[in-house]
Each structure stands twice: as structure tokens, then as C-alpha cells.
Amino acid sequence: MTPAAATATVLRPTTVGRDYAAVLFDLDGTLVDSGDSVDRAWNLWCARYDVVPEELEGLLHGHTAVDLIRTVRPYWPADKVAQAARYQLQIQEEDPTPGTAMPGAAELLASLTARGQRWAVVTACSAALARHRLAASGLPVPEVLVTADDCPRGKPDPTPYLLGAEALGVSPTDCLVVEDAPSGIRSGRAAGCTVVALTTTHQADALTEAGAVLPGLTHLEFAHDPVASAGRD
């Protein structure tokens, strides 16, 4: 018998209008509400490195710590950037309340898993932090978890989503990306994926490059493909 993952019902998002073989989810602001934890960590970081928190406005979602620090302090040497990024990630990895599940996240992931549907998480944070946030939120850790540890170039570079599609054995053009940040949208589009954006951390007018913009995961509905489902026991 063919493994379920190979014959899984394709996804047909009612808001997008075509079929997809897999879903690639961003983490923060998409599956997990980590806003308070992120704010606390970067405020502590700013105090240590004498950075005005307002300099980080609009940059806290969709960027790796290294990329964000390079943006606000482009003149820092590489070793100082690396040290500062490690400190920032350490704060978040040790946060006892790193986040909660976004509305609809648990139900959506359970539905995809029950149907044998392929999905992955593609995030700009570290693997340790991603697992910490998923566990604290009561969400499953997927078999495919692409993090900053895997990618020399973070979003908006296409590499993270290309790696996610490759790990699932799916063409990027057959993947639906679910994002909340402009950099993530650009990453998914550059990889060749279709992108749905959620207005969970940004206003809709900042997400216009996505194929569809929704208020949240509870508005992301999938229909079974009757052809793919036919004849299955």
C-alpha cells in the first residue's frame, strides 16, 4: 500500500483557488503569539547594548537576530554581531512564557496531521527557540523544522522556504506559505510558493505582495479534493 504521505489529499484553500501538496508555516505571529516575549527580550537587549528600542520598530518579525542587528548596527564587527545575537536568543530561549498558540493553530495542525497532509515550519528563530515556543504553546513539533540554524541567509532570501519544500519532497510551486511579515512574504514568493498573509502583526496594507490576506488562521479553510480522495480505503 502506498504510504499516506504520498497519497494525501491535496489542499484546496477556499481563499486561493488552486491545489497545494504541502503547507509551509511561519512560526512567530503565524502559529505562535510570541509578541510579549519578543518585546521583553529585545528591550533587555537594547538596554545592554545602548540601543534605542524605537530603532527596532517594524523589524522584530520575519528577521533573524543577526540580520536585525546588522540592520541597526551595520558598523559593528562580525564577532560583536554574533555575540549580541547569541545573547538575544539566550534571553528568549530561557523565557518561561515564550508564547501561546494563535487562535485556530492547534485545530488546523491536528486536521492536517490527521489527513496525512505534509506541512512544515519555516522560521527565522533558532531550533531551540522554535521547539521551546511550540512546546509551550501546546503545538506539535513537525518532522520538518527549518530554522536560522539551517540557513546562512534568512528571509526575505528564498533559501528558508526552498529548504522547507525540499525537505518535504515537494516542488516549491506546489507549496502554500502562511506568513505574517513582509520579509516572509517576499521569501516565499521568491522561492516560487503561493503566499497567504495574516494580519496578526502587520496591517493589511503592508502585506499586499501576498496572494491573499486573512485576519487569522481561523479564516484559512481547506477543501478536500474529491478526485484525490476517490478510491481511498
- Residues annotated catalytic, as ranges: 26, 28
Q: Which three cell numbers stand for residue 69?
A: 542587528
User: What is the full DSSP assignment across 118-187?
Assistant: EEEEE-SS-HHHHHHHHHHHTPPPPS-EE-TTT-SS-TTSSHHHHHHHHHHT--GGGEEEEESSHHHHHH
Length of the chain: 233
Beta-carbon count within 10 A of 49 CB: 16
Q: State how far the alpha carbon of 53 is from the alpha carbons of 33, 38, 58, 79, 97, in Å.
A: 20, 12, 11, 22, 21
Q: How far apart are CA 26 and CA 124, in angstroms?
A: 8
Bridge partners of 24?
Answer: 120, 177
